[in-house]
Amino acid sequence: MCGIAGIFGRDASGLEAMVAALGHRGPDGRGVHLDGADAALGHTRLSIIDLSDDGLQPMSDPSGRWWVVFNGEIYNYLELRAELAGSWEFRTRTDTEVLLAACAVWGAGCLDRLLGMFAFLVWDARERRLFAARDRFGVKPLYYHEADGALRLASEIKALHAAGVAARPDVASWASYLAHGLQDHSEKTFWESVRSLLPGHFLTWKDGKTSISRWYDLAGRVGTEPDPRTDAEVREEYRSLLEESVCLRFRSDVPVGINLSGGLDSSTLLGLVQQVQGSESDIYAFTFVTGDPAYDELPWVEQMLARTRHPLIVCLLSPGEVPELAESVARSEDEPFGGLPTLAYARLFERAREAGVVVLLDGQGMDEQWAGYDYYRTAVNGSAPLIQGLQQSPVRPGCLVPELRALAWQPPAPFPDSLRNLQYRDICFTKIPRALRFNDRVSMRSSTELREPFLDHRLVELALRQPPLRKIRDGQQKWMLRSLLGELLPKGVVEAPKRPLQTPQREWLRGPLRGWAEAQIERALGSGWLDAEAVRCEWRSYCAGEGDNSFFVWQWISLGLLNG
C-alpha cells in the first residue's frame, strides 16, 4: 500500500510537497521521477511484497519508456507474471512490475485481467501519454484537479492542497450531505474543483487533453436475468470463490491479521482463514470495544476464537480519547467520516501496527451481497434509508439556511427488481463507497494495509445474479451464506445477533462528550450554512433524550472539524 502523485502539463513544482503529504501511506520509501517540463511522478512506499529496494517506485522498464507509480495490490500477480513471461523480462519479484508489464503489453485491456485493489499512474515517455486507473469498487482512491493546463493527481486530497490547489469547500457537496446524507456517490468531493476518479474508470492525458472512460460496469456484467442453476451449484461456486479470494489475499511478505466482530460476516471470514491457513493458524485477530456491554461484541468474538490459536488483541476506545482522536482522523479523512465506529477502527489499526501486523483482512461486503440489512426485507418500490436500523430521518434539512439548496439525487435502477436495485445502490453509490474511504484513510493513517476479500468482483457479481429466494428465505436474510456455515465454520463458532450500531455514539454525545460536541457544533455554525436557532433547538431535544439516532449531530460535528 502506498501513496501516489503526479503533475502533468506543467513543471513539477509542488510534487515534493505532495509526496511529503502522503508520507503516512508509505513510510518505507520515497521517490520522484521528472520527465522534461511537463511530467512528474511521485511515490511513497509501504513495503508488502518484495521488501527489497527492487520494489522502489517510480519504477520503469529497462528502456525507460514506461514508468509507473502504484497504490494497492494485484493479488493474481504470480499468474499474470507467468502469462507475460514471453513478452517481458522481469527484474523484480513485485506485483508493481507485473502491473507495469501488463499495461505495456496489453494496454487498457489489462484492467479486466487484474484481481485486486489498485490506483495507478502509468507514463509513456515516448508517446507523452498518461494512463491512470482505479479498481472496480474503488477500494483504493485517486483524486485529480485540472486548471491552467495542468493536471494533478494524488491518493489523497490533502496532497493536492499541498501542491497549491485552493482548499475551498464545495458548497453543493456539503448541501447534499447535510440535507440528504449523501457522500462519495459521485465524482464530486467536499472540496471545490477536486474530483475523484470514479471506481471502474480510467483516465488518459495527452497534449493537455484529459479523457475519462468507464472500464467496469457491474450491472452490465451481472445482467438482468437471475441465475437459473440449482442452489447446490451456486453454493459450490460461491464457496470455491470465497476460499480462492481469501487465499489470494494472504499473499504478503509481511504479517497478516484479521479484524473481527461477533457477526456472521466475521464468522465466515474466520472460518475461511481456518480453511486456507489450517486449523493451527496463529494469525493475530483484532476487535474493538468501548466498555459498554450493550454494544461491545467481545463475548461473541471470544466464543468464535475459543477453539482456535489466534491471539486476540482487544482495542479499547474511551470517551476521553475522542476529541483528540477525532481531530486527527478528520485530518486523515479530508472529508466527513463515520463517527465513533471510524474512530474505534482507527485505534484498532494503531494497535495492529504496534503489534507488527501490517496487513489486515475484514469482512466488508457480505450484507450488500446477500441482503443482510433489515430494509432489504421491508423496503418497497426501491425506497430504503441510507442508514440501517433507524425509524426516524437521520438528517435535519430544516436546520439549513434557505440559501443552501441541495439537489435531489436518484440512484440508477438497472435491474427489474427492487431488491437488486437497492443492493446496486449500496454497492456502487452509498454504503460501500463511503465505508471504503473511511477505512482506507484510517488504515493508512497508521501505515497499515486493509484488504477486503469479500469485495472480490467475482463474488459480488455471482451474488447479484441470484434471485431473491437465495438471499431472503422463510424470513431469514443471507440465506445462501448461512447455508454454507456448517461446511465453513469450525465447531463452536457462533454468531452474534445482528445489530446496526457498534458504538455508544448516541449516549456518549449526550453524556461524557456533550461539552465537546457542543463546541464543535458552535464551530459549525460559523460556516453560515446552518440556522443557528434551529440547530440549537434540535441539539437541546437530542440532549434531552429524544430521537433514535445521532447521525445529524455527527454531521454538524464533521462540519465543525473540517470547516471550523
Q: What region does 475 belong to: left with phi over 0, alpha with psi -120 to 50, or beta?
A: left
At CA 469, angle to CA 465 and CA 475, rounded to 5? 140
Amino acid at 187: E
- DSSP secondary structure letter of residue 321: G
Q: Residue 183 and residue 339: Cα distance in Å, rounded?
A: 14
- Residue 30 above 90 pLDDT? yes
pTM: 0.96
Alpha-carbon span 267 to 287, nearest angstrom: 13
Assign 502 a pLDDT band (cuts: 50, 70, 90).
confident
Contacts of 141 (CB under 8 A, 6+ apart): 71, 119, 134, 155, 156, 196, 437, 440
Instruction: State CA 43 to chain mean position distance.
Output: 20
Mean pLDDT calculated for residue range 471-492 = 82
Q: Quickly count: other Cβ atoms within 10 Å of residue 545's Cβ.
A: 9
Which ranges in the chain are annotated with CATH 3.60.20.10? 2-216
Q: Which residue, among 150, 138, 287, has the nearest Cα to 201 in the 3D structure?
A: 138
Range list for CATH 3.40.50.620 in the chain:
220-501
Is residue 317's pLDDT more than 90?
yes
Cβ atoms of residues 357 and 256 within 8 Å = yes
Rounded CA-CA distance 244/37 in Å is: 45
Question: Phi and psi for 508 in degrees, rounded to 5?
Answer: -65, -40
Please report the pLDDT score of residue 381 as a whole number: 47
How far from each other are the two terminal CA atoms of the chain, in whole angstroms? 31
Answer for the pair 387, 378: CB distance below 8 angstroms, yes or no.
Answer: no
Is 60 exceeded by the pLDDT of residue 55? Answer: yes
Q: What is the 3-state secondary structure (H, E, C) of 155-184?
A: CCHHHHHHCCCCCCECHHHHHHHHHHCCCC
Average pLDDT, the chain: 93
pLDDT at 494 over 80: no
Q: Which three cell numbers, joined as nine digits, stand for 80?
A: 499474470
Confidence class for position 387, pLDDT limits 50, 70, 90: low
Q: Could you read off the pLDDT of 422-467 as tens digits, one per residue?
A: 999 999 999 999 999 999 999 999 999 999 999 999 999 999 999 9
DSSP state at residue 85 = T
- Range 220-501: architecture per CATH: 3-Layer(aba) Sandwich (3.40)
- Rounded distance between C-alpha atoms, residue 80 and residue 97, angstroms: 11
Q: Inter-axis angle of helices 77-84 and 95-106, to 10 degrees?
A: 50
Model confidence at 405, pLDDT cuts 50, 70, 90, reads confident
Q: Provide the pLDDT for residue 507.
A: 96
Mean pLDDT of 222-247: 96
3-state class (DSSP) for residue 555: helix
Nearest to 372 by CA among 477, 494, 483: 477
Helix/strand/coil (H, E, C) string of 402-435? CCCCCCCCCCCCCCCCHHHHHHHHHHHCCHHHHH
Q: Domain 2-216, what architecture? A: 4-Layer Sandwich (3.60)
Phi, psi of 141 (to 5 degrees): -90, 155
- pLDDT score, position 307: 81
Strands (E), 17-74: 29-34, 39-45, 59-60, 66-74
* Cell, residue 273: 482463514
Nearest 5°: phi and psi at 212?
Answer: -125, 130
| Residues 350, 360: Cα–Cα separation, whole Å | 12
Q: How far apart are CA 86 and CA 89, in angstroms?
A: 8
536 burial (CB, 10 Å; 0-12 / 13-18 / 19+) is middle
